[in-house]
Amino acid sequence: MSKNKPYSDLIKSEAQRLGFADCGIAKATLLDTESANLKKWLNDGRHGDMQYMENHFEKRVNPQKLVENAKSVISVIFNYYPSHNQPKATYKISKYAYGKDYHFILKDKLRSLFNYLQSIIPEVQGRAFVDTAPVMDKVWAQKAGLGWIGKNTNLINPKLGSYVFIGELIVDIELEYDTPVKDYCGNCRKCVDACPTGALTGPYQIDASKCISYLTIEKKGEIPNEYQNKMNKWIFGCDVCQDVCPWNRKAIPHQSEELKPHPDLLKFKDTDWENLTKEKFNELFRKSAVKRTKYTGLKRNINFQQ
């Protein structure tokens, strides 16, 4: 048994106490294979207008550029699958944005986890990350044994499916490391075949510039006309490649009050969306990730599909 296994066990136990669905640990190393893949993906222009993806390349592939003398990446996942969904026939937002912005929820919990870590190992140094810094979170979660990266390019956890948020602590101490799990996608290609805009150009391949999530959130200016009648009333994000995934039959509704939607959201009809005022937008999405696209962006996405 590694001398650091007791610490690893304590960290995982505390992560579960804080509400994380699972926790795994990987050795902080240079991501050689992923570096080459990312470079090609960027060179092929698959990131669209997301110029920030080109920035801090070294930090994306080398955790020691983010945390000095980094030794371990502690990954956590947090379930966000809702107990009730919006009606399929209406304008829709992605499930991850139903409640409070996950960045705040996970960052708070990760800070608590780090404070706990410092209480048992006072000399530890590190940082918490939730999707806002150049960290390849799905890769680290996969290396930590929390799932595999599926053909829809999402992390799939064998117990929960893919409706999970990912966060990390990168720390400068050695711990007991987990081993990756097998890829269980098999011959299935439901996600690839179901993508409305053809953004999944093949298994494990995504052209983000065609993705509805990109078009409704990241894309600046007008949405290209070629996507008219292809967006299936998604106005903030898209869940199609997850909704069709057989592994999401295992999804269990979360128990987090903070992720519960505003009661009106699940009742909204098309006319409510089309007549949405700025005041109602601010009420519905006061602390939600939907604020990222702003009122004008959401109206653009609605008007494009009327």
Residue pLDDT, tens place only, 224-242:
999 999 999 999 999 999 9
CA dist 2 and 27 (Å) reads: 14
pLDDT computed for residue 1 by the predictor: 43
Identify the DSSP state of 250.
G
pLDDT computed for residue 161 by the predictor: 97
Cβ neighbours of 182 (radius 10 Å): 7
CA dist 123 and 110 (Å) reads: 18
Place of tokens 């799905």: 138
Q: pLDDT tens-digit profile of 88-106?
A: 889 999 999 999 999 999 9
Cα torsion 291, 294, 298, 304 to 10°: value is -150
CA dist 127 and 248 (Å) reads: 31
Are 211 and 199 a contacting pair, CB within 8 Å? yes
pLDDT computed for residue 15 by the predictor: 98
Q: Which of 96, 59, 75, 77 is nearest to 216 (CA)?
A: 96
CA dist 92 and 106 (Å) reads: 24
From the candidates 131, 172, 243, 270, which is the catalytic residue? 131
pLDDT computed for residue 158 by the predictor: 96
- DSSP strands (E only) in the chain: 22-27, 72-79, 92-93, 126-129, 148-149, 155-156, 164-171, 200-202, 205-206, 234-236
The verdict on whether 131 is a catalytic residue reads yes
With a cut of 50, which residues of the chain have pLDDT below it?
1
User: What separation in angstroms does the CA of 29 have from each of 7, 62, 69, 114, 153?
Assistant: 20, 7, 11, 20, 22
